[in-house]
Protein backbone atom coordinates (compact mmCIF):
# COMPACT_ATOMS: atom_id res chain seq x y z
CA UNK A 1 0.00 0.00 0.00
CA UNK A 2 1.28 3.45 -0.92
CA UNK A 3 1.10 5.92 1.94
CA UNK A 4 1.85 9.62 1.57
CA UNK A 5 2.06 12.12 4.44
CA UNK A 6 0.04 15.35 4.40
CA UNK A 7 1.75 18.65 3.70
CA UNK A 8 0.20 21.96 2.78
CA UNK A 9 2.20 23.86 0.14
CA UNK A 10 1.31 27.30 -1.21
CA UNK A 11 -2.29 27.11 -0.05
CA UNK A 12 -3.12 23.87 -1.85
CA UNK A 13 -5.35 21.54 0.12
CA UNK A 14 -3.28 18.80 1.73
CA UNK A 15 -5.38 16.10 0.06
CA UNK A 16 -4.72 17.50 -3.43
CA UNK A 17 -1.01 17.75 -2.65
CA UNK A 18 -0.99 14.15 -1.36
CA UNK A 19 -2.68 13.01 -4.56
CA UNK A 20 -0.07 14.88 -6.61
CA UNK A 21 2.78 13.21 -4.71
CA UNK A 22 1.15 9.80 -5.05
CA UNK A 23 0.70 10.38 -8.78
CA UNK A 24 4.38 11.35 -9.19
CA UNK A 25 5.53 8.30 -7.21
CA UNK A 26 3.32 5.99 -9.27
CA UNK A 27 4.66 7.48 -12.50
CA UNK A 28 8.25 7.01 -11.29
CA UNK A 29 7.55 3.40 -10.27
CA UNK A 30 6.00 2.70 -13.67
CA UNK A 31 9.07 4.17 -15.39
CA UNK A 32 11.43 2.12 -13.22
CA UNK A 33 9.51 -1.04 -14.05
CA UNK A 34 9.70 -0.18 -17.75
CA UNK A 35 13.46 0.45 -17.51
CA UNK A 36 13.88 -2.96 -15.91
CA UNK A 37 12.05 -4.45 -18.88
CA UNK A 38 9.66 -5.94 -16.37
CA UNK A 39 6.63 -7.67 -17.76
CA UNK A 40 4.83 -6.66 -14.59
CA UNK A 41 3.20 -3.27 -14.37
CA UNK A 42 1.79 -1.38 -11.41
CA UNK A 43 -1.33 -3.54 -11.40
CA UNK A 44 0.78 -6.62 -10.64
CA UNK A 45 1.58 -4.98 -7.29
CA UNK A 46 -2.01 -3.88 -6.67
CA UNK A 47 -1.08 -0.24 -7.34
CA UNK A 48 -3.41 2.17 -9.15
CA UNK A 49 -2.65 3.74 -12.50
CA UNK A 50 -1.38 7.36 -12.25
CA UNK A 51 -4.03 10.01 -12.86
CA UNK A 52 -3.19 11.94 -16.04
CA UNK A 53 -5.90 14.48 -15.30
CA UNK A 54 -4.23 15.46 -12.03
CA UNK A 55 -0.92 16.12 -13.77
CA UNK A 56 -2.66 18.27 -16.38
CA UNK A 57 -4.42 20.25 -13.66
CA UNK A 58 -1.12 20.83 -11.85
CA UNK A 59 0.49 22.16 -15.05
CA UNK A 60 -2.49 24.46 -15.66
CA UNK A 61 -2.22 25.70 -12.05
CA UNK A 62 1.48 26.46 -12.48
CA UNK A 63 0.92 28.30 -15.77
CA UNK A 64 -1.89 30.38 -14.22
CA UNK A 65 0.53 31.74 -11.58
CA UNK A 66 2.33 33.86 -14.18
CA UNK A 67 1.01 36.93 -15.99
CA UNK A 68 1.98 36.68 -19.66
CA UNK A 69 2.43 40.44 -20.15
CA UNK A 70 4.68 40.73 -17.08
CA UNK A 71 6.77 37.75 -18.16
CA UNK A 72 7.13 39.20 -21.69
CA UNK A 73 8.28 42.54 -20.25
CA UNK A 74 10.85 40.77 -18.06
CA UNK A 75 12.07 38.85 -21.09
CA UNK A 76 12.48 42.03 -23.14
CA UNK A 77 14.35 43.68 -20.27
CA UNK A 78 16.69 40.85 -19.26
CA UNK A 79 17.62 38.96 -22.43
CA UNK A 80 19.72 41.82 -23.87
CA UNK A 81 21.71 41.85 -20.60
CA UNK A 82 22.86 38.22 -20.93
CA UNK A 83 26.58 37.61 -21.38
CA UNK A 84 27.65 35.41 -24.33
CA UNK A 85 27.69 32.16 -22.29
CA UNK A 86 24.28 32.89 -20.77
CA UNK A 87 22.92 33.80 -24.21
CA UNK A 88 24.12 30.49 -25.66
CA UNK A 89 22.29 28.58 -22.90
CA UNK A 90 19.19 30.76 -23.36
CA UNK A 91 19.18 30.13 -27.12
CA UNK A 92 19.52 26.36 -26.61
CA UNK A 93 16.68 26.28 -24.08
CA UNK A 94 14.43 28.40 -26.27
CA UNK A 95 15.02 26.02 -29.19
CA UNK A 96 13.56 23.24 -27.01
CA UNK A 97 10.70 25.36 -25.62
CA UNK A 98 9.18 25.61 -29.09
CA UNK A 99 8.61 21.84 -28.94
CA UNK A 100 7.90 21.30 -25.22
CA UNK A 101 6.84 23.03 -22.02
CA UNK A 102 8.90 22.82 -18.85
CA UNK A 103 9.49 24.81 -15.68
CA UNK A 104 12.76 25.94 -14.16
CA UNK A 105 13.24 27.24 -10.65
CA UNK A 106 16.26 29.14 -9.44
CA UNK A 107 16.99 31.74 -6.75
In a domain, 56, yes or no: no
Q: Rounded mean pLDDT of the chain? A: 75
Residues 1 and 27 in one domain: yes
d(CA 92, CA 107) in angstroms, rounded, equals 21
Structural domains counted in the chain: 2
Residue ranges making up the domain that contains 96: 66-107
pLDDT band at 83 (very low <50, low <70, confident <90, very high): very high
pLDDT band at 50 (very low <50, low <70, confident <90, very high): confident
Helix axes 52-64, 14-35, angle to 10 degrees: 120
Amino acid sequence: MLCVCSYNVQGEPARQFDAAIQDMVLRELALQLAHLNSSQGLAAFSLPTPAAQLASAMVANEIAKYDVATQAAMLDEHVPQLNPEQRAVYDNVMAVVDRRAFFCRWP
